Amino acid sequence: MTEIKYSTFKKPKSKSNKIIEFVFKNPSVYFSLLLFVTVLILFLSPHAIILGVTDEPGVNIEDSRVFSDFDVYLPIEDQKLVKKDSPSILAQAAPKNVHSSAQCSGFSDNDRFDCLPQGSVSEEECNSKGCCWGPVNSSDKAYRGVPYCYYPSNFKTYKYLNVSVTDLGATAYLGILINSTYPNNVQLVKIDFNYLTENILQVKIYDAERARFESPFPKMSSLSKTSAKNTSYVVDIDKDRLGFNVLRKSDNQSIFNTQDVGGFLFTDQLLQISARLPSSQLYGLGQQRNDFQLDTSWKRITLFNRDQAPIDNSNLYGSHPFYLALENNGQSSGVLLHNSNAMDIILQPAPAITYRPIGGVLDFYFFLGPSPSDVVRQYTSLVGRPFLPPYWSLGFHLCRFGYNSLNKTKEV
């Protein structure tokens, strides 16, 4: 079975842990203890703010303090417990993210991840987001595209609540730490790590409490109902670092590293995730008019089907959020984001990538190759392969586009 590296994650069970397990397995004991703790807190600290996230109308959470080191937070409204449907893992709400100057220093220009990609921004807007401000000389071609407003180091919007092993691999829950300024932040995020084959890994990130639209096309092949054995990859999860890292076992090469990279967002109409890549030699992410090898100098690629003649820096007929990376040692890997919503994809020189779809889920598939032909073979085994066209269809084709009259067509 594929290993997951739980860096600083698993702890030996102590007597206190055993007591906690006993309490949670006995509902009557749990609710009695819960009521006792609630009354005690209200009695000792009548003005304390108990942090929580709730969908109930009229609840205004404006402050945040470190309440405890436990992963489960108790939301309270008007001194009454707020009921929440299962799963009952709740996260704290926090105000604007505050960072120190040290968290903004030590970044090279290529390692900046854009905090405000909307265009022209001010230092005041940047600071209100809890991000770092650092203008550069944008008239110099070498600095074009470098964001002025960028995420500080260790910018955490969510935290790991737990990780458990499943028949297909593993499952993790993320609880929100701070609400972004975008509306309708998802409070509880679930991640499924599915080990489909020895060389194909699926990482699906979605709302744990509400169903969201997922593209039915292409219909993914059902590869396995159990976890693959002897995989060529390993997933690194660290409870103190937001995200995950996919590595190739043979050379310990990181293929897709999202741990404390950029700002992870999951709202109703904007999702965002960034990752460091093993190479700047990238191919794919169509449909667009571009060089065969993609430009990673702060290149923004928009995927949103549009019927127009091919022009530079514009979305075209199709959307294929798949890329192939060729590493310096000749090995290759590929990544597919199965999401049909309109999205921007940003490539930067780090090398790194940022996805910003406006809906759906983050359904990633990783192809470990190791050769480019292996990556393509693994990719097409999942999305399907083209059929052989009939012999008669291989003849001369003439498109009527551009011919305004029959006489003009006859002249040709």
pLDDT the model gives residue 371: 97
Which pLDDT tens digit goes with each residue over 304-316? 999 888 888 889 9
Question: Which tens digit of pLDDT belongs to each residue from 71-89?
Answer: 332 232 333 333 333 333 3
Quote the Cα angle for 295-259-88, to 5°: 130
Sheet bearing 200-207, strands edge to edge: 158-165, 169-176, 188-195, 200-207, 362-367, 332-337, 320-326, 282-286
Evaluate the CA torsion angle 296, 300, 301, 306 in order and state its sign. negative
pLDDT digits 0-9 by tens, 213-240: 999 888 777 666 778 889 999 999 999 9
Residue-level pLDDT at 23:
61
β-strands 233-238, 4-7 pairing: parallel
Cβ pair 271, 355 in contact under 8 A: yes
Q: How far apart are CA 169 and CA 187, in angstroms?
A: 24
pLDDT of the residue at 383: 93
Phi-psi region of 229 (alpha: psi -120 to 50; beta: other; left: phi over 0): beta
pLDDT at 80: 33
**pLDDT beyond 60 at 2:** no
Q: Which two tokens stand for residue 259?
A: 């741990």
Extents of the domains making up the chain: 95-155, 158-383
Rounded to an integer, the average pLDDT of 366-395 is: 93
In angstroms, the CA 242 to CA 38 distance is 30
Mean pLDDT of the chain: 81
Which pLDDT does position 172 carry in this prediction?
Answer: 97
Q: What pLDDT does residue 404 have?
A: 83
- For domain 158-383, the CATH class is mainly beta
Q: Residue by residue, what is the 3-state secondary structure of 83-128?
A: CCCCCCCCCCCCCCCCCCHHHHCCCCHHHCCECCCCCCCCHHHHHH
Q: Which of 72-81, 188-197, 220-229, 269-278 has the lowest mean pLDDT?
A: 72-81
Q: Nearest-CA neighbor of 231 among 244, 250, 245? A: 250
Place of tokens 């940047």: 126
Q: Which CATH number fits domain 95-155: 2.40.420.20, 4.10.110.10, 3.40.50.720, 3.30.300.30?
A: 4.10.110.10
Instruction: Say what the pTM is.
Output: 0.76
Distance of CA 110 to the CA centre of its chain: 20
DSSP states along 247-285: EETTTTEEEEE-TT-S--EEBSS-EEEEEE-S-S-EEEE
Residues 194/224, Cβ–Cβ less than 8 Å = no
> Could you report the per-residue pLDDT of 155-166, keeping only the tens digit for each?
999 999 999 988
